[in-house]
Amino acid sequence: MYPVKENLHRVLDTLPAEGVLLVAISKYHPADYVMAAYEEGQRVFGESHEQEIREKHALLPKDIEWHFIGHLQTNKVKYIVPYISMIEAVDSLKLLREIEKQAAKADRVVKVLLELHIAEEATKYGLTLTACRELLDGGEWRQMSHVQICGLMMMASNTDDEAQIAQEFQQAADFFDEVKARYFADDDHFCERSWGMSDDYPIALRHRSTMVRIGTAIFGPRVY
Ligand SMILES: *Cc1c(COP(=O)(O)O)cnc(C)c1O
């Protein structure tokens, strides 16, 4: 078996003792890898496909907090809303509305993050800063009592240029401050900055990440 436990502790040793949550990204890895991390005390896991998270949720202990980190189609929302702990990658008002609708039906409040598009790659999902401001200025989210907007999420460009990665994280951190001040000054729930993956989380931590999403460094390379 892949050394999941050793890797998990190696990663945890590099995180600050407080203030940063490790989301262990288990996509494409088998349930027994999740279980190995669970046995070491890890409780928060992230997945990016509805089918896969559904299967793992059914198999694995019910005190796991599942984060959905992938692009979510509106027609899939109803399947994950009953048990999901957080939907990290909300990138449209349409998706937010559907989460509100399904969460109301399930009689629960679902935590979400707004996903920003800051990276250079055209392929990355997410709201541009302008689109994010527009969504928040629209104000419809204020009437949604079954979604709780807890912060922002983003992915940096996939590049070796550390200065560029740092600049993107800093842009996200600055934007967080703007959004916090303009829309969430009185809302303590809006406090999360989800950035940093296996290759770039040390940089993300220097730019005020509160949530790192780490897969490969714990579970090894994914076989797609
Ligand atoms: C897969 C994925 C990760 C984890 O990436 P690693 O490089 O394996 O740590 C983090 N965030 C998102 C959105 C992902 O899709």
Residues whose CB is less than 8 angstroms from the CB of residue 202 and which lie 6 or more positions away in sequence, other chains included: 14, 196
Decide if 168 contacts 154 (C-beta within 8 A): yes
The pLDDT, as a whole number, for residue 150 is 98
For ligand 1, atom 11: residue with the closest CA: 213
How is residue 95 written in tokens?
Answer: 């998706």
Residues in the chain: 224
pLDDT grade for 95, boundaries at 50, 70 and 90: very high
The pLDDT, as a whole number, for residue 130 is 97
Query: 155 in ligand 1 pocket by Cβ < 6 Å?
Result: yes
The pLDDT, as a whole number, for residue 147 is 98
Query: 48 in ligand 1 pocket by Cβ < 6 Å?
Result: yes
Pocket test for ligand 1, best of 49, 69, 86, 224 (most atoms within 8 A of CB): 69
Query: Between the CA of residue 73 and those of 4, 66, 76, 162, what are the distances in Å?
Result: 31, 17, 5, 32
Distance CA 179, CA 132 (A): 9
DSSP category for residue 92: -
Query: 52 in ligand 1 pocket by Cβ < 6 Å?
Result: no
The pLDDT, as a whole number, for residue 1 is 76
Tens of pLDDT along 67-87? Answer: 999 999 999 999 999 999 999
pLDDT grade for 196, boundaries at 50, 70 and 90: very high
Using DSSP's 3-state secondary structure scheme, residue 54 falls into: helix
The pLDDT, as a whole number, for residue 224 is 83
pLDDT over 90 (residue 49): yes
**Mean pLDDT calculated for residue range 215-221:** 97
220: alpha, beta or left? (left if phi > 0; alpha if psi -120 to 50): left
| CB burial string 83-105: b at 16+ within 10 A, e below | bbbbbbbbbbbebbbbbbbbbbe
The pLDDT, as a whole number, for residue 8 is 98
Q: What is the mean pLDDT of the chain?
A: 97
How is residue 210 written in tokens?
Answer: 């509160």
Tens of pLDDT along 145-181? Answer: 999 999 999 999 999 999 999 999 999 999 999 999 9
Residue at token pair 């940063």: 20
pLDDT over 80 (residue 122): no
